[in-house]
Amino acid sequence: MESRYWIAFQTIVTKEVTRFMRIWVQTLLPPAISMSLYFVIFGSLIGPRIGIMHGFPYIQYIAPGLIMMSVITNAYANVVSSFFGSKFQKSIEEMLVAPIPNWVIVSGFIAGGVVRGLFVGLVVTAVALFFTDLHLYSFWVTAVVVLLTSILFSLGGLINGIFAKKFDDISIIPTFVLTPLTYLGGVFYSIELLPPFWQKVSLANPVLYMVNAFRYGILGVSDISVINALIVLALCSVALTAACIMLMNRGVGIRT
């Protein structure tokens, strides 16, 4: 990367990280609280009645999915709210008039989303350790999956932010698409519990691949092939990166 592009990239990332750290009560605290509640209710209260799943206590089985759920929602939320906020305040113009290519702007916002996703992931992991034991089965699978997932959902958030025209538009996708996909993506159950038809339907849900691959990285069990999950994640990330850069180049939602 050319040095001036590198400086611009660092500036965008620093700006993004400073933003979500400044409002930590809105960005870092809520996932810690909501995940604590999930662990108390689903893990400690209901979990013992469910028993063992794939050879693990229920609370331990759902822990990787809950961590991944936080990574997904926070990576997405960071980019969509920051990008739309920049559009709303017109501060996006600061970047649009500067001599930086769109791929640097996209990379900067995505890196900001990844940092928040990973940071919240660490916070939630720390919360999880109060309730259960977690050991890394494969560091590399865990690291690659969490990184690709946060990239993918940051890209999703950016596309949402590009098209959003009002504040309602940045909550519609998380509420009506992201939340159902996450809850139905095997966070709380193994798809083996589903009837064969719904097992096949579940395979169309990209979140299923991320949750299971991440669970494999931590516990060593998965409903699906980890290689397939990594391929799906990589292909989706490449496709959304191309879409983001194309939308930025066309000036969709940002240039008249």
Partner 1 sequence: MNALEITGLHKVYKNGVQALKGIDLRVKQGDFFALLGPNGAGKSTTIGIVSSLVNKTAGQVRVFGHDIDTDLETAKSCIGLVPQELNFSQFEPGLQIVVNHAGFYGVPRPLALRRAEKYLKQLGLWEKRNQPSRTLSGGMKRRLMVARALLHEPKLLILDEPTAGVDIELRRSLWDFLREINANGTTIILTTHYLEEAESLCRHIAIIDHGLIIENTGMKSLLAKLHVETFILDIDRPLAAAPPLPAFHVQRLDELTLSADITKDQNLNDLFAALSAQGIHVKSMRNKANRLEELFLGLLAKNGG
Q: Which residues contact partner 1 by CB under 8 A?
A: 3-5, 7-8, 10-12, 14-15, 18-19, 22, 85-86, 89-91, 93-101, 251, 255-256
* CB 240, min distance to partner 1, A: 24
| 98 or 177: CB nearest partner 1 | 98
45 φψ region: left (φ > 0), alpha (ψ -120 to 50), beta (else) = alpha
Sequence-distant (6+) residues with CB within 8 A of 147 are 114, 118
For the CA atoms of 75, 77, 79, 85, the dihedral, rounded to the nearest 10 degrees, stands at: -160
Minimum CB–partner distance for residue 31 and partner 1 (Å): 21
Please say which residue, 9 or 38, places its beta carbon nearer to partner 1.
9
Main-chain phi, psi angles of 76, to 5 degrees: -65, -50
Minimum distance of partner 1 from residue 246's CB (angstroms): 15
Select 62 or 95, whichever has its Cβ closest to partner 1: 95
Is residue 214 within 8 Å of 182, Cβ to Cβ?
Answer: no
To the nearest whole angstrom, how small is the minimum distance from the Cβ of residue 165 to partner 1? 14
| CA–CA dist 231, 93 (Å, integer) | 36
**Residue number, 116 or 215, with CB nearest to partner 1:** 116
